[in-house]
Every structure is written in structure tokens, then in C-alpha cells.
């Protein structure tokens, strides 16, 4: 479809290299050698990577990249498709070797040297892409990395630790405000990064791009996209947060908005959102129809395998996971999850 405008902004329909043809780049021998250089050239802080030390670790990663310009250029080339507003996703099979330890029982990482090395590599990859790891005090106990693995206690829950039910289309932490939507508010995660450790179950992760959703919506409801840009929707924290942190006050927010670069953004999770009245609920239902239509036509499915680096823009791409039968520990599906935020000032 053609581009169209709303309130002075240009909104692009589907572009030629959207998530339907997302980048899936193989790792060459030279790229692999570059990563070895990046890893072995490091001089990291002695303390663990946590919310209060992330700036130091990101600065260390930047120093490594500065000392290894050829390796840095190779890594940036691999990660950069996520910055393309018509793709916003990168899948790099076997980028980093998985760790040879059992699937953990808890959500949090042990300070094992193998895990520490993984987080350093992920930090280098994020910094090469102009981002750095980040954490949120209300989520994952404020830790940088989270184990995404089946939890028997949460098996029937609609969360990343469930497995018996589909985890429908959503963005992570949709109740967090975007930059500019309230002073001092928690920011909606920008990048969502998974590093596969094991996935014998072949559990499927699905993605659909916002451009395709908007195209499907405008096809049926031309000129009405502004209905989703009003702060007429109550968002509560997702189930993964409520299960462990209790009730938190819902907030009024729009589903769609423009960032400071005039890029349309989205927040979505039917499990923790509702309209303030029947009209708002009606438009939520229509937008959900558009998500399903876009997914059927342009959505993609991925099996995140051991060593895979899978990252996407959490404000431009919705994701979901199909139900699966989890293997018992220690062989159950296991992904490391890290959020990334843009680097807004020099690290070194």
C-alpha cells in the first residue's frame, strides 16, 4: 500500500525488506575469528554485570571494539539489520557457543564464569549495535539477564515460563512508558535479545512487524489509525511481573505513538490491557484482527537454537511463542534474555 499521513507524520506501509524477509546471516570464519579477538582482548571490571555496574561493562566493551576495528566492523555488520526500520530484527545462527551446563531451575543466573563470558559477549554485540544492556527494578529483581525456561509451577500461565498455553502476540513490559510519556517513568524496553542455550523441544517464536499490522489495519479501517494513538487504554504489568511482585497500579497509555525520529511505535499485550470504554475496546479488537491478518500474510516463525543470537526492536515488532511440551530439567529449553537501550552519550 502507499504511505499515508496522520497528524503531520508520514506513516509507511510495508517496505521491501520487512520482517517477512528478515535477515538471517550465517557467521563466516572471519567473523568467528573476530569474535575470538573481541573476547580474548577484554579487560573487564572485577564485579558482576548488574544494573548498577552496566555502564562500566559497556565502557569496557567499547574499549575492546575501539582496539579491534576490523572485528568491530564485522560484528556491527552482523547486528546492524536491527537498526533498519523496515526490518528491525536479526537472527544470527550459532553466533556464540552455548554454555555446557544444565538448564537452571531459577530465573536468575549464577555467577558462573561460563555465564559471565556469555554476558560479556552479549554486551559487546549490543554496544556494536549502538545499544547497551539495561535492567528494570520492578522486573527480574532488577537483574540484567533472565533465564527463559519452562517452570512447572507456571506451566499453565500465560508467560515466558509457561509452555502448555500459547503466549500470544505481545511486546515486553507494555505498561512501561516510552520516553516522553511521563517524566521519570520506566521506559518500555527498546531491544529484546535472546541467546539460545538449548531448545530440544523446537519451541517456536513468532514475530510480526508493526508496518505490516498498520497496513492491514488501514486496508480495512482507512484513516482511523489515530484511534490507537489516544491514551484510552489501561495497561497493567504482565503476568510474569505480577506473579512475583504483586499488584501494581495500571496506567493510561496509547497503543501507538511516534518516537523522536517520527517512527511509529507499539505496545501490546491482550493479557494486561483494556480500553477505558466500549469504543476503546472496539478499536482494540479491530487492531487485534489486524495483527492476526498481518501475521498470517507476513509473519515469520523461528526456532531459536543453541548459540543463536536473536534480537529485535520491542517497540516495532510483536512476538509470541507457541505452546510446547517441555523437556524435564536439565535438558529443558533455555534462552538467556537481555534488554537493550540506546547509548545516548559516549561510553569511554
Asked if the model's pLDDT at residue 347 lies above 80, the reply is: no
CA distances from 55 to 38, 133, 201 (A): 18, 9, 36
Report all structural domains of the chain as residue ranges with CATH numbers, in order of start. Answer: 17-340 (3.60.130.10)
Which whole number is the average pLDDT over 176-193? 66
Pair 209, 297: CB distance under 8 Å: no
Q: Which of 1-5, 36-40, 275-279 has the highest mean pLDDT?
A: 275-279
Pair 262, 12: CB distance under 8 Å: no
Q: At what angle do helices 69-79 and 54-67 cross, to 10 degrees?
A: 120
- CB-count exposure of residue 186 (10 Å: 0-12, 13-18, 19+): middle
122-140 tens-digit pLDDT: 888 899 889 999 887 777 7
Q: Which three cell numbers stand for residue 170?
A: 505481545
188-207 tens-digit pLDDT: 899 999 999 999 989 999 99
pLDDT at 179: 52
- Quick one: what percent of the chain has pLDDT higher than 90? 35
| More confidently predicted of 236 and 194 | 194
- Does this model's pTM top 0.85? My answer is yes
pLDDT at 193: 94
Pair 86, 16: CB distance under 8 Å: yes
273-302 tens-digit pLDDT: 999 999 999 999 999 999 999 999 999 999
pLDDT at 304: 94
Amino acid at each position: 500500500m502507499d504511505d499515508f499521513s496522520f497528524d503531520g507524520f508520514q506513516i509507511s506501509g510495508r517496505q521491501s525488506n520487512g520482517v517477512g524477509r528478515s535477515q538471517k546471516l550465517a557467521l563466516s570464519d572471519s567473523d568467528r575469528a573476530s569474535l575470538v579477538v573481541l573476547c580474548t582482548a577484554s579487560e573487564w571490571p572485577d564485579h558482576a554485570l548488574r544494573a548498577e555496574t552496566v555502564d562500566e561493562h559497556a565502557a569496557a566493551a567499547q574499549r575492546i571494539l575501539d582496539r579491534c576495528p576490523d572485528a568491530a566492523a564485522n560484528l556491527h555488520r552482523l547486528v546492524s539489520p536491527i537498526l533498519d526500520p523496515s526490518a528491525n530484527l536479526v537472527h544470527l545462527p550459532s553466533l556464540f557457543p552455548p554454555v555446557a551446563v544444565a538448564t537452571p531451575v531459577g530465573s536468575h543466573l549464577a555467577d558462573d564464569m561460563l555465564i559471565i563470558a556469555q554476558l560479556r559477549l552479549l554486551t559487546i554485540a549490543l554496544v556494536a549495535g549502538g545499544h547497551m544492556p539495561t535492567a528494570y527494578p520492578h522486573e527480574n529483581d532488577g537483574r540484567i539477564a533472565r533465564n527463559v525456561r519452562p517452570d512447572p509451577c507456571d506451566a499453565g500461565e500465560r508467560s515466558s515460563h509457561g509452555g502448555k498455553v500459547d503466549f500470544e502476540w505481545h511486546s515486553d513490559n507494555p505498561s512501561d512508558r516510552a520516553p516522553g510519556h511521563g517524566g521519570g517513568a520506566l521506559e518500555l524496553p527498546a531491544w529484546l535479545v535472546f541467546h539460545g542455550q538449548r531448545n530440544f523441544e523446537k519451541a517456536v517464536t513468532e514475530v510480526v512487524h508493526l508496518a505490516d499490522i498498520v497496513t492491514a489495519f488501514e486496508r480495512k479501517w482507512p484513516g482511523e489509525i489515530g484511534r490507537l494513538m489516544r491514551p484510552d487504554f489501561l495497561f497493567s504489568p504482565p503476568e510474569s511481573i505480577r506473579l512475583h511482585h504483586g499488584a501494581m497500579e495500571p496506567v493510561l497509555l496509547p497503543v501507538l505513538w511516534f518516537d523522536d525520529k517520527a517512527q511509529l511505535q507499539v505496545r501490546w499485550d491482550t493479557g494486561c490491557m483494556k480500553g477505558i470504554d466500549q469504543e476503546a475496546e472496539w478499536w482494540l479488537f479491530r487492531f487485534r484482527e489486524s495483527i492476526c491478518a498481518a501475521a498470517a500474510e507476513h509473519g515469520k516463525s523461528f526456532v531459536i537454537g543453541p548459540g543463536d543470537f536473536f534480537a529485535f526492536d520491542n517497540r516495532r515488532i510483536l512476538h509470541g511463542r507457541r505452546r510446547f511440551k517441555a523437556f524435564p530439567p536439565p535438558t529443558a529449553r533455555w534462552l538467556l534474555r537481555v534488554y537493550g537501550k540506546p547509548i545516548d552519550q559516549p561510553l569511554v
